[in-house]
Amino acid sequence: MNYIHPDDLPSNQTILLSEILLRQLEEATKQSFFLACNRIARILLASCHWYFKINSGVLVLTMICPDIESYHNIMTSIPYFTKNLHRFANTASINVTPPFDLGVPWIIEIDEAGLDNDALNT
């Protein structure tokens, strides 16, 4: 087994600073993404709870829908959100959560190779 000597590990202060900077990046990405969206997409985002997380270098957009109408509207707009999200990261995912017991949670993986420009132009 390989063990890393404690002197080679980052300090607690470095770890804390990294976490703070990561949260600031997530918040700045959220603001920029919202501003990059058209009026209809902004209304859809405002109809649900949404946020960004960065997990292992992957940008994750999570949308939690409070009612079935917002869930359906978000799901029909996934191509738009995918295209817009690709402007911020080559590898990302979108998580859409419906109201409890009223739909199917979706996780849509987005990567540069998987983008179909025809499908995204809708």
Mean pLDDT of 71-82: 95
* Per-chain mean pLDDT for the chain: 87
Whole-angstrom Cα distance, residue 113 to residue 28? 26
Please say if the pLDDT value at position 122 is more than 60.
Answer: no
Please say if the pLDDT value at position 102 is more than 70.
Answer: yes
Q: What is the pTM of this model?
A: 0.80
Residue corresponding to tokens 């703070």: 20
Please give the distance of CA 34 from its chain centroid, rounded to a whole number. 12
Please say if the pLDDT value at position 116 is more than 60.
Answer: no
> Are residues 69 and 80 in contact, defined by beta-carbon separation less than 8 angstroms?
no
Please say if the pLDDT value at position 117 is more than 70.
Answer: no
